[in-house]
Amino acid sequence: MKEDMIMRRYAMELGAGLLFYGAILPLIFFALRNGWVGEEMKVPLLLLPMVPIFMIAWVILRQIRRLDEFQRKTQLEVLAFSFAGTALLSLSYGFLEIAGLPKLSMFYVWPVMSALWVIGGLVSRFHYR
């Protein structure tokens, strides 16, 4: 496969996973808010968004396997940056919560890591230009 075709396929697969996630989440919350879900079904229903999350993870792993050695190396650096940055930010804020700042949901951790992954990718792209 040509590199641009591979990237296009990756973008389409990733986009499909994100679209699936974005579509299913409001439907689940709508059903919960309107009382359409019994107590016994709340846990399975709330875990349903993990299906597109697994899909997204699978798409990303497949894409990393398609990369050449240099691209894999840079992705490892970017992932290390996002992991370390997320650890620093989440632990720092955890200590600040003890000092009285409002408690934040764990839902904030993944978007922070994703944002740092994008920032790290941009820095890496600029650095290795």
Spell 34-50 as b/e; 16+ CB within 10 A means b: eeeeeeeeeeebeeebe
Q: Which two tokens stand for residue 21?
A: 């996630």
DSSP code, position 102 = P
Separation of alpha carbons 17 and 69, rounded Å = 26
- By the 8 A CB rule, do 101 and 78 touch? no
Domain map of the chain by residue range? 1-66, 68-129
Considering the entire predicted model, what is its pTM? 0.79
User: 1 pLDDT exceeds 80?
Assistant: no
Q: What is the mean pLDDT of the chain?
A: 94
Each residue's pLDDT tens digit, 70-120: 999 999 999 999 999 999 999 999 999 999 999 999 999 999 999 999 999
